[in-house]
Copies of this chain bind each other. A is one copy, B any other.
Amino acid sequence: MIAPALTWQDRSSVRGEMQADEQTRPRTKRLPRSVRERQILDAAVDVFAAQGFHPASMDEISETAGISKPMIYAYLGSKEELFVACIRREADRLLEAIRGAVGEDLRADQQLWRGLRSFFEYTQEHRSSWAVLHRQALAQGEPFSGELAEWRRQAMELISVLLARATAASDQPMQPEQMQPFAAALVGAGESLVDWWIENPGHTADGMAMRLMNLVWMGFGDLVEGRDWKPE
């Protein structure tokens, strides 16, 4: 049995006594459309992240955003369209953060290191964003998982190219396509490590990136024998 979830009304009646732990934006008036759209998306990401797509109600989103429901429909369309908009925005942000950190002209292991680090930093600072992307988008069926697939495609593209470039100098250079499953594994390892991190806080983003770097760059075979990878 689930403990009966507090409705918004329940909580707000409590709030008089407790402190306001929720982010119900106070109603401001007559703001330009672009600002409202941002506020709505912010609220939607939070609510979708906390509840999941289906359980999340447009009423709660509108309340959190501090605006009435019809405005959401006017500006961003149906619940589905709103959710897709959330996924797109958050995916772009995360990808941009990583791309920026990776840079262009560094040694492959350095690029990987920076990419991983920025990934952990980003997920640390944007929990809701990550939850919507990683969990919710995946779990909902076709219209949405497609959006996520596009993000993964781009992330894997970035990594595949990076890895392939790393093998360029060797006697068996690889094509980016051959590196795809490795990129997939790396993305998954990162995602999963974030989950572990959430349940085991007290580690820095650098530390997390380092662990993953060691795993994928050195491998257990080396780690077991005490050889590890260090930045710089």
Contact = CB atoms under 8 A, between A and B. Distances in A.
Contact of A189 (B1, B192, B223, B226): B192
A159 B185 CA distance: 17
Given A2-B80, A2-B143, A185 B224 contact: no
Interface residues of A, number: 62
A100 interface: no
A92 interface: no
A208 B180 CA distance: 12
Contacts of A222: 219, 221-222
Contacts of A122: none
Nearest to A142: B2
Interface stretch (A6-14, A17-25, A29-37, A209-217): A209-217
A170 B226 contact: yes
A185 B211 contact: yes
B188 A191 contact: yes
A112 to B, nearest CB: 8
Given A180-B200, A189-B192, A219-B222, A139 B141 contact: no
A124 to B, nearest CB: 15
Contacts of A105: none
A78 B2 CA distance: 11
Contact of A180 (B172, B195, B196): B196
A112 B185 CA distance: 16
A193 B224 CA distance: 24
Contact of A185 (B51, B136, B143, B212): B212
18 contacts: A1-B78, A51-B141, A52-B54, A55-B141, A109-B220, A112-B220, A138-B138, A167-B223, A181-B196, A182-B211, A184-B196, A185-B190, A185-B192, A185-B193, A191-B192, A219-B219, A219-B220, A219-B221
Chain A to chain B: the 10 pairs with minimum beta-carbon distance, closest first? A188-B192, A219-B219, A139-B139, A54-B54, A184-B196, A189-B189, A185-B189, A218-B219, A188-B188, A135-B139
